Structure 1
């Protein structure tokens, strides 16, 4: 019985964290009529499970990731069209950076199919599946950023990755995003990859978002950059009028895949 009650408390805490992204110990104690000592013990348990990080006075959610294999199966036709449409920006002599993600994976697959007009391309990525897709399959130079492996997204992250990115000069960054709206801008389901994306944007001459229309008005856990930080957005048909107006106001070029 005690174990069942403890599990129920943990579920309640996680429901609050997923809704807010963070929580305060005093607020949770009042909301669930629990002692702060009990809550601190529960937060410690959840931290050991890798679900949150304790901070002074409370805790923050580490991520709201969906399983990578599940994301691979979602909206495949839309993602394929977006990936193929993004190849129009590729030119010989460019250095491009392909973000980790299931939509950007379709860009890599389109590149693998062949780009007759592009003879020379430098491709950089921290996406392990992106590198696996392209390695030995194209005539282009491929660089995989090193670092700690973030297993929820099959990507490399952390200080080593950031140090390598800081040395790059990138012509075009193709960025994946979990959510986007005017208020929060482009957002991601975890903090560690959001940091990587921001670092790449800082080293890129232009940045292009690859995100389907279902991402609009669906802000995720970790902010990346403001909405107008992207120069281009490749998206499937069906963006609502407010998204079209927002993109026009932000001077973002829309490419409908």
Structure 2
């Protein structure tokens, strides 16, 4: 049986990991500490009662407890362990922060797990900037508004249950009348031949509009998505100004992108 000190150490480590990664998984934590999932769930319940994190399905995220079920965006084809995937997304989000053109920037932010990680970085780095953000993600809108970002708007339309993306004709109409300094988008896959891809025609139309309505477009693409294709192309490399990936991206990709004039950014 674990001592009080061992339990306290485990729980403090869980909080630290969740703050670093944005999210923790019950199964990953159980394996890391060599305890049962039930033990981790009890830890998370205690930590939530202390206001140190918020339990969600399969794990926990940083934030105060809420009275409703939280639905986080999920990548259908993410094959990495949660902690590894989240670490990559957080590093991409941190690098994306450096591309924001200034404290008065206007932004369009696409729905998705990587853009949610970027939004978490934005929230942690909000220090009174006069950012204006329009997003197609309820989760991103909530995260940024809760952090105090002054001008946060959410596009109206139909919310997809799994990806938490707002889609449909209403969303398209609202995007067409907007302009932004910079756009941040996610993608299901990327290859030089087929460009950036997604499996949903409704999301493809939204992503195309986001790119069209921004002066500068950035795709947040973790290395697991590179050389993987989904069903529909929503943009080619030269349709965007930059791609941010992680350190596991192929070393040959930067040279391959030279003819497109699209910048590859690696944290």
Quote how far apart the aligned CAs of 1:74 are.
6.3
- 1:99-132 deviations in Å (ceiling 9; x for gaps): 101011111101111244x621101101111112
Flag structure 2 segments of 5+ consecutive residues without an equivalent.
Answer: 1-74
Report the Cα offset of residue 138 of structure 1: 2.1
Match of 2:119 in 1: 108
Larger radius of gyration: 1
Correspondence for 1:238 among 242, 248, 253: 248
- 1:239 CA drift (Å): 2.0
Per the alignment, do residues 139 and 130 of structure 1 end up closer, same or farther by CA in structure 2, a change over 3 Å counting? closer
Conservation of the 8 A alpha-carbon contact between 1:213 and 1:235: yes
**Are the equivalent residues in 1 in contact too, given 2:126–2:147 (CA < 8 A)?**
no
1:128 to 103, 127, 138: 138
Output the CA distance in 1 between the equivalents of 2:214 and 2:172.
Answer: 14
In structure 1, C-alpha distance between the alignment counterparts of 2:250 and 2:119, rounded to whole Å: 28
Aligned-residue offset at 1:80 = 0.5
Matches within 5 A, 1:1-257: 66=76, 75-90=85-100, 91-116=102-127, 119-257=129-267
1:193 and 1:110 map into 2 onto residues whose CA distance is 24
Q: Give the drift of 1:67.
A: 8.1
CA distance in 2, matches of 1:94, 1:165: 17
Deviates more, 1:130-139 or 1:102-111: 130-139
CA contact (8 A) 2:93 2:117 kept: yes
Aligned to 1:50: none
Q: Secondary structure at the match of 1:135?
A: helix
Q: For 1:236 and 1:210, how far apart are their aligned partners in 2?
A: 9
SS of corresponding position for 1:197: helix
How many residue pairs align between the two structures? Answer: 191
Structure 1, unpaired ranges of 5+: 1-64
> Whole-Å Cα distance in 2 between the matches of residues 195 and 126 of structure 1?
12
TM-score, normalised with respect to structure 1: 0.69
TM-score by length of 2: 0.67
- Alpha-carbon displacement from aligned partner over 1:188-209 (angstroms, at most 9, x marks no partner): 1211111100011111111001
Shift of 1:134: 1.5
Q: CA 1:178/1:247 → structure 2, altered by over 3 Å: closer, same or farther? A: same
Q: Distance in 1 between matches of 2:92 and 2:113?
A: 11
User: Equivalents in 2 of 1:148, 1:71: separation in Å?
Assistant: 30
Superposition RMSD in Å: 2.0
